[in-house]
A and B are shown apart, each in its own frame.
Chain A
Amino acid sequence: MEVEGRVLGTPLPAPCPGGGAEPPEVLALDDDEDDLEVFSKDASLAEVNSFSPSMPISPSSMINQYKFEDEPELGDLFITVDDPESHITAIETFITYRVVTKTSRGEFDSSEYEVRRRYQDFLWLKSKLEEAHPTLIIPPLPEKFIMKGMVERFSDEFIETRRKALHKFLNRIADHPTLTFNEDFKIFLTAQAWELSSHKKQGPGLLSRMGQTVRAVTSSVRGGVKNRPEMFTEMNHYMETFSQKINVLDKIAHRIYKEEREYFNEMKEYGPIYTLWSASEEDIADSLKGVASCIDKCCKATEKWMAGLSENLLPILHEYVLYSEILMGVLKRRDQIQGELDSKVDALANKKTEKDMCLATWESFLASQTVDLHVEEDSEDRP
């Protein structure tokens, strides 16, 4: 089987050590592409490539591999998310976003769609995609709410950040060669509000979804870790460490932003004092005014820096935090599936043993019967 790709640009040891019967090409690495440019402004992200559906699914190739590309592969589906509006009902207040889709694809009845969706709908879509394609990496959604962030739940800043993230989310799905053809995705983009809610109700019920979660938990507890091939152990270790580091980086970046903002606030007060002073002076008035204007310029520069930080670095770090969570989830799923496989293999082995034992019992019985017969015959023969 021909599988190529990289995992987040992580160079896993190319010669795959004895991990059983896994084909070594699974980890064919291409070392010259540098994917992880967290600190460069134009880092473009995630194209999720899955292997073709016709491939037999084996535990070893369960691991998702994807490569980052700069250009979207498919250009016939354009989606925008904008125009947040708040809706107030008796029970709750929520925000809807306008989702505009333009497409030239045949399977869409029309070439343009405009619908309104709320965050819950995005969550639903994500879970449907995860269900339908458990082996793929579904792009991250922005979180439900920020616990200790610097932003309130419904502040403009928060809504805008979320809107941008939702926009990215849908576009990544659209650019994904497999996910883009998902039926639920299409419905999400095209259905009117009432159509969508009735469609949602049709899905597998809460119980079955719970069942999946339970299975996942129990199997991880049981430890699909037993027969984990070494490469996945390494990957797990890497992901754990990476996840931890990226989380810390995220925290640091936020903290820096916060400190920078406080610095900016103080600086804003600092400059005008020099101006005030210059009013009492004659000879040095100009010098003082000069200092005031310099401090002012520093303030503006600081503002620019903060904007750059919050528009570029912070969101990217954040995405990778989410990605690392997704990947940990994927690895867990792999372990879970491995666990299931192992238990089935065990069960099979047990059955086989049982069968062998049965067979042995019958054979020995038959053998004993035959012996008896011969003994009888022999005794009969003796006059």
Chain B
Amino acid sequence: LLSSRAVEPQSEGQCAPVDSLWRRYSEFELLRNYLSVTYPHIVVPPLPEKRADFVWHKLSADNMDPDFVERRRIGLENFLLRVASHPVLCQDKIFYSFLTQEGGWKEMVNETGFQIKADSRLKALNATFRVKNPDKRFTELKHYSDELQSVISHLLRVRARVADRLYGVYKVHGNYGRVFSEWSAIEKEMGDGLQSAGHHMDVYAASIDDILEEEEHYADQLKEYLFYAEALRAVCRKHELMQYDLEMAAQDLTSKKQQCEELATGTVRTFSLKGMTSKLFGQETPEQREAKVKVLEEQIQEGEEQLKSKNLEGRDFVKSAWADIERFKEQKNHDLKEALISYAVMQISMCKKGIQVWTNAKECFSKM
């Protein structure tokens, strides 16, 4: 388990008994799991990466690296802010106590028994393959989130490589600084010009460190949405599961009704094992048949009620999930636009700095 501490900001709204406390990364994970299970129709904000991914050579892949730890801390803070600003999630009591209650929080979460409510992976996978009539919008959303995930991870990988190369270009220029300085020692007329030009080369080479650090921030913003894709998929999966459940229940009801009818009329329309065994082992007595029919009728009654409620559940889910998805879409568009804008601003500033340095160097050379 990774031990990373986050000192949290002041808790939202209500009387805040505790201003700050310590939480491990694993506790954040627990919180998120709880929220995902308890609010399956909500696109739950993702956690920042546990391990350093998409590194370029300078950035350490070491999880203990202070820069990485700091960026993860910011990511965790961001997670909490997202949850706190969500209209539904912010009201959750477990979330509240995460922010305010030092000890015993873990036990409290486990007591909710949310783990039991969690759907098994296998069940979900099964449903995905077998569901016949999922809401088209969710199917589309699933495709979108797949595309989003693949395109952002590709983008982050290539960006890391570009950063690596850019670093190389800048740093090699630092050699100019050294050589100019050495060379200026043997020159009379050109000495001063070379010396100052060398200084500018050093400045240029050093500037890349800050530039790339800023770019990491951009990468982090993209990463958040990369992880959001998974949250989207989770909601879609839940819908498929519910829909599949519904379809199965409807199917089950239909077959029970049919059985009932057959027993009542004495005709066997469909092949059934029961039918075969009864043929092999002798017909049932009318009393037995009556009993069976009664049982079936009860089951059918239950089934119809269940189906009704499942239907309702399903529709409610779709409605509320879609509402949150729309909210998410707006948030996403807004955030990504902002991220792209700040990326462009960064690039402009980097280019301006470069122009400045080279203009200065050019002046030094022309004065030589």
Is A241 engaged at the interface, CB distance under 8 Å to the other chain? yes
Among the listed B169, B182, B365, which residue makes an inter-chain contact with A245, where contact means beta carbons less than 8 Å apart?
B182
Smallest CB-CB separation from B170: which chain A residue?
A: A259
Could you tell me if B158 and A273 are in contact, using CB atoms closer than 8 angstroms?
yes
Evaluate contact between A280 and B151: CB separation under 8 angstroms.
Answer: yes
The A interface, classified by DSSP as helix, strand, loop or mixed, is helix
Residues in A neighbouring B71, C-beta threshold 8 A: none
**Distance of A34 Cα from B155 Cα, bound (Å):** 49
Chain B residues with Cβ under 8 A from A69's Cβ? none
| Contact present for B365 and A39 (CB under 8 Å) | yes
Chain A residues with CB under 8 Å of B185's CB are 241
Query: Interface with B: A174-182, A281-289, A329-337, which one?
Result: A281-289
Asked if B151 and A260 make an inter-chain contact with CB atoms under 8 angstroms apart, the answer reads no
- Residue B154 CB within 8 A of the other chain: yes
**What 0/1 pattern do residues 156 to 177 of B give for CB contact below 8 A with A?**
0011011011101100110110
The 8 Å CB contact of A269, one of B144, B158, B172, B176, is B158
Contact status A270-B162, CB under 8 Å: yes
Q: Once the chains are docked, how many angstroms separate the CA of A11 from the CA of B148?
A: 64
- Most-contacted residue by chain B among A260, A273, A276 (CB, 10 A): A273
A290 to B337, CA, bound (A): 11
Expressed in whole angstroms, the Cα–Cα distance for A277 and B366 within the complex equals 46
B365 and A40 contact, CB distance less than 8 A: yes
Contacts of B121 in A (CB 8 A): none
A287–B173 Cα distance when bound, in Å, is 33
A270-B175 in contact (CB<8A): no
A287-B155 contact in complex given A238-B186, A245-B183, C-beta closer than 8 Å: no
Enumerate chain A residues within 8 angstroms of B183, measured Cβ to Cβ.
241-242, 245, 249
B residues less than 8 Å from A277 (CB atoms): 148, 151-152, 155
Q: Does A256 contact B (CB under 8 A)?
A: yes
**Interchain CB contact under 8 A, A263 and B162:** yes
Query: Are B147 and A284 in contact (CB-based, < 8 A)?
Result: no
Q: How large is the interface on A (under 10, 10 to 19, 20 to 34, 35 or more residues)?
A: 35 or more
Contact B340 A259 (CB under 8 A): no
Nearest CB on B from A37, distance (A) = 8
Q: Which of A241, A245, A256, A280 contacts B148 (CB 8 A)?
A: A280
CB contacts (< 8 Å) of A283 on chain B: these are: 329, 333, 337
Task: Give the Cβ gap from A269 to chain B, nearest Cβ, in Å.
Answer: 5
Contact flag A259-B165 (CB < 8 Å), given A36-B190, A284-B333, A287-B340: yes
B368 at the interface (CB under 8 A from A): yes
A259 touches B162 (CB 8 A): no
**Tally of contact residues, B, Cβ under 8 A:** 40
When distances are taken between beta carbons in the complex, the residues of chain B under 8 Å from A241 are 183, 185-186
Closest to A242 in B: B186
Residue with the greatest number of chain A CB neighbours at <10 A, chosen from B176, B179, B182, B329: B179
A281–chain B nearest beta-carbon distance, Å = 8
Residues of B within 8 A of A290 (CB): 340
Chain A residue contacts of B190, Cβ below 8 A: 34, 36
Establish whether residues A252 and B175, one from each chain, have CB atoms under 8 Å apart when the complex forms: yes
Assembly CA distance A252 to B173 (angstroms): 8
CB within 8 A of B344: which of A37, A242, A291?
Answer: A291
The answer to whether A262 touches B340 (Cβ under 8 A) is no
Contact residues in A for B368 (Cβ distance below 8 Å): 34
Q: Does B343 have its Cβ within 8 Å of any Cβ on chain A?
A: yes
Whether A59 is near chain B, meaning CB under 8 Å from some CB there, is no
Looking at the complex, which one of B161, B169, B343 makes contact with A259 (CB distance below 8 Å)? B169
CB-contacts of A288-334 with B (<8 A):
288, 290-291, 294
A232 within 8 A of B: no
A255 at the interface (CB under 8 A from B): yes
Give every chain B residue within 8 A of A238 (Cβ-Cβ). 186
CB distance from A282 to the nearest CB of B (A): 8
- Nearest B residue (CB) for A254: B172
Cβ contact within 8 Å between A256 and B333: no
Query: Do A9 and B189 contact each other (CB < 8 Å), given the known contacts A266-B158, A269-B158, A277-B155?
Result: yes
Pick from A242, A252, A259, A280: contact of B168, CB under 8 Å = A259
Q: Chain A nearest CB: distance from B271 CB in Å?
A: 48
Give, as a whole number of angstroms, the nearest-CB distance from B119 to chain A.
27
How far does the alpha carbon of A294 sit from the alpha carbon of B345 in the complex, in Å? 12
Q: Are the C-beta atoms of A263 and B168 separated by less than 8 Å?
A: yes
**A221: CB under 8 A from chain B?**
no
| Residue A187 CB within 8 A of the other chain | no
Closest Cβ of chain B to A240, distance in Å, is 9
Does residue B188 face the partner (Cβ distance < 8 Å to A)? yes
Residue of B nearest to A237 (CB): B186
- Asked if residues B189 and A34 are in contact (CB atoms below 8 Å), the reply is yes
Is B336 engaged at the interface, CB distance under 8 Å to the other chain?
yes
The 11 sampled A-B contact pairs (Cβ below 8 Å) are A11-B187, A245-B179, A245-B182, A255-B175, A262-B165, A263-B162, A277-B151, A277-B152, A283-B337, A294-B344, A294-B347
The 7 nearest A-B residue pairs measured at CB: A263-B165, A11-B188, A283-B333, A259-B168, A245-B183, A280-B147, A277-B151
